[in-house]
Amino acid sequence: MNIGIVIYIIGWILEFEAAFLLLPALTGLVYREPQAAVIYFATAICCFLLGFLLKRKHPSKKDLSTREGFTCVALGWTIMSLFGAVPFVLTGEIPHYVDAVFETISGFTTTGASILTDVETLTHASLFWRSFTHWIGGMGVFVFMMAVLPLMGGSAMNLMRAESPGPSVEKLVPKVRNTAKILYQLYFGITAAGILSLLLCGMPLFDSLLTTFGAVGTGGFGFKNDGMASYSPLIQNVTTLLMILSGINYTVYFLLLRRHFKEVLTMEELRWYLLIILAGAGLIIIDIRGLYPSLEETVRHAFFQVGSIITTTGYSTTDFNAWPQLSKTILLVLMFIGACAGSTAGGIKVSRIIILCKAIRKELSMIIHPRMVKKIRMDGRVISHETMRSTNVFISVYFVIFFLSLLLVALDEFDFTTNFSAVAATLNNIGPGLELVGPTQNFSLYSPFAKCVLIFDMLAGRLELFPVLVVLMPSCWKKY
């Protein structure tokens, strides 16, 4: 392990976080919240000074192996969350540090699970910071670093692999830094379009910023106690569209800008993603048609919640915990599926589900025709053995972590549906679950130990399991 490069990159992470913390400090000044502004500014100064000290010594070897890339990402996200929680404690808005870490890591991992019982009591500075952490974590802080700084050349791809969601990560252009730049240009563009669209719909500027940060980052922290229910149908529909668009692989937007329309049309994951949304919403519309006074309202709520859950955003316009069992089961299944690889969403990902289904079909065919030679293809290309192996291992590890977490959380003696959906909501970076952690409830009922388990699940889910597990292995830290 090259400890020097890990410490150096952690230093950069803290300096970037210091810059990010200046935004809620400025928000506090704008809304005349001097105490919050000072606290966020002081935290930013501390992060900057510590980051400066950590990166004073330049490592002699700047190349990053996969091991160091995974370690940097896992530690970077953890440290960023630990420092990002400090302002909540110092302002007294979340007095217990474990709760503050839960809230912050829920933000950075774009989960949206909250321990707050009355979110409207927070200062504007803290509301901005909560939602802005979604935007930072959506595309990833390491991708942002690579877009801004020429750090490690080609070996920086190991950082992108550790942070970017999906069974495989490909460069859009030959250079990693240029790929990172393109991704963030697209991210900025969709964010700007979302803010402008909501403003045109009559949403206040502050609300538009927070809603877009959550929708584009697929995080979904609510900043009103009733979620999105009090906003107009037009705003809800625009938010639905914004969430669904944010669940699409960003490669699609790159190809559209390059006018490679045929490649987009042949993408299996995109077709299945949109088909799942249509099928899920259609079944729910039929199931809940008697709960709302008009067909328009029924369709609006169904598409909003399906879009919110499959993209792992977690916004809500209604209490879907009161829906019939079929509708709740559909939403629970969508929690596990998630959106597209290469998006800001969580979950297992549609591409992995497709690969798994094709692998099952291949095995069944080989039972009937043992001598058959059949290769699994996706989008017309043969899936590599490495991608197949990583997908199979991911699914296996995913369910091991899920059921271990479920056992540990069960020590709090809540009902099975609450615990099951709480683990599903955190490991898949959704936010709300069902029953006691439903859209009108929160996670404050859990003990500090259970919250720590769920914190681990949120971090593991956002980083696709492996980076978090790698740093726990003693062999990872051996020097070479």
Range 396-400 contact pairs with CB under 8 angstroms and sequence separation of 24 or more: 397/465, 397/466, 397/469, 398/348, 398/427, 398/465
User: Half-sphere exposure (CA, 13 Å, Cβ side) for 299?
Assistant: 6
Backbone angles phi, psi at 122, to 5 degrees: -70, 150
Q: How does DSSP classify residue 92? A: T
251 is in an annotated binding site: no
110 is in an annotated binding site: yes
321 is in an annotated binding site: no
- CA dist 27 and 126 (Å) reads 9
Query: Which residues lie closer than 8 Å to 385 by C-beta, 6 or more apart?
Result: none
DSSP string, 320-368: GGGS-HHHHHHHHHHHHH-S-TTSS--SS-HHHHHHHHHHHHHHHHHHH
If you search the block for the tokens 């290469």, which residue do you land on?
Answer: 342
Greatest alpha-carbon span in the chain: 74
418 is in an annotated binding site: no
Q: Is the separation of the CB atoms in 89 and 97 below 8 Å?
A: yes
What number of residues does the chain have? 480
312 is in an annotated binding site: yes
Q: Which of 274, 428, 219 is nearest to 338 (CA)?
A: 428
- CA dist 454 and 294 (Å) reads 38
Q: Which of 131, 128, 87 is nearest to 107 (CA)?
A: 131
- CA dist 156 and 48 (Å) reads 23
Identity (one letter) of the amino acid at 3? Answer: I
Terminal-residue alpha carbon distance, the chain? 6
- CA dist 239 and 81 (Å) reads 27
429 is in an annotated binding site: yes
Q: Is the separation of the CB atoms in 425 and 308 below 8 Å?
A: no
Q: Which of 363, 350, 292 is nearest to 322 (CA)?
A: 292
Q: Binding-site residues for K(+), please?
A: 110-111, 219, 312-313, 429
Q: Binding-site residues, please?
A: 110-111, 219, 312-313, 429
